Amino acid sequence: MQRMMLKSKIHRATVIDANVDYEGSVTLDEELMERAGILPYEQVHIYNITNGARFQTYAIKGDRGRGEVCINGAAAHLAKKGHIVIIATYANMEDVEAANHQPILVYVDEKNRIKTTTIGMAVKAGVL
């Protein structure tokens, strides 16, 4: 049997822009993507802490070090500049793998700068 497990999350990121006219996706700072193990065009789930909206889209790479978290396309109706969001990815795993899996958790400050990264409960220093 397979289980859908949390692969990674960026916790309490601040939306810095919302562009309804863009064709779709969420633009993320390249460093945030790398640290969370998110690939360009990978599906992401976004949970808006500010208004409770939940939606799925895909990630595209933004400029490194700028703290970009930009909601694009139709999803821009669900998250606005200044909203606080959680960005999560999931992976299917067999029971044996799932039993030992530890997700990557990236914690950011109000400017989307990385404060800490953990794998499960272990804090990792530097780039994973």
Catalytic sites, residue numbers? 25, 58
Contact present, 36 and 9 (Cβ < 8 Å):
yes
DSSP secondary structure string, the chain? -EEEEEEEEEEEEEP-EEETTS-SEEEEEHHHHHHHTPPTT-EEEEEETTT--EEEEEEEEE-TTS--EEEEGGGGGT--TT-EEEEEEEEEEEHHHHHH---EEEEE-TT--EEEEEETTEEE-S--
Contact present, 40 and 21 (Cβ < 8 Å):
no
